[in-house]
């Protein structure tokens, strides 16, 4: 809520509840280390990227670490 109104925060929570929690199993755990080195990403970001790639999802973000990565929709903060 630091960056938005309470209503916008609640809308974000509702959107997140529609998502699916996936396990970071052995098969998925190896790819983030490669992606971290390839894109100079922090490990948490590389786990997000690897998961999105595994599930053929598009990442929508304002995190500049993801700028210029395939299948990522980056929108700079205003």
pLDDT tens track for 8-39: 889 989 998 998 888 888 888 899 999 999 99
Mean pLDDT value across the chain? 91
Q: Both tokens of residue 66?
A: 């993801």
pLDDT at 57: 93
Alpha-carbon distances, residue 47 vs 52, 55, 57, 72, 78 (angstroms): 9, 12, 13, 14, 26
pLDDT at 1: 58
Tell if the pTM clears 0.85, that is, is over it. Answer: no
CA 42/CA 45 separation, integer angstroms: 5
Contact 72, 66 (CB under 8 A): yes
pLDDT at 16: 87
Alpha-carbon distances, residue 15 vs 10, 31, 53, 73 (angstroms): 9, 27, 20, 17
């Amino acid at each position: 809520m630091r960056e938005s109104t309470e209503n916008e925060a609640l809308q974000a929570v509702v959107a997140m509840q529609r998502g699916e929690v996936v396990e970071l199993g052995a098969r998925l755990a190896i790819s983030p280390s490669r992606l971290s080195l390839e894109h100079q990403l922090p490990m948490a970001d590389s786990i997000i990227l690897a998961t999105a790639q595994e599930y053929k999802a598009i990442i929508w973000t304002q995190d500049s670490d993801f700028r210029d990565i395939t299948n990522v929709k980056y929108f700079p903060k205003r």
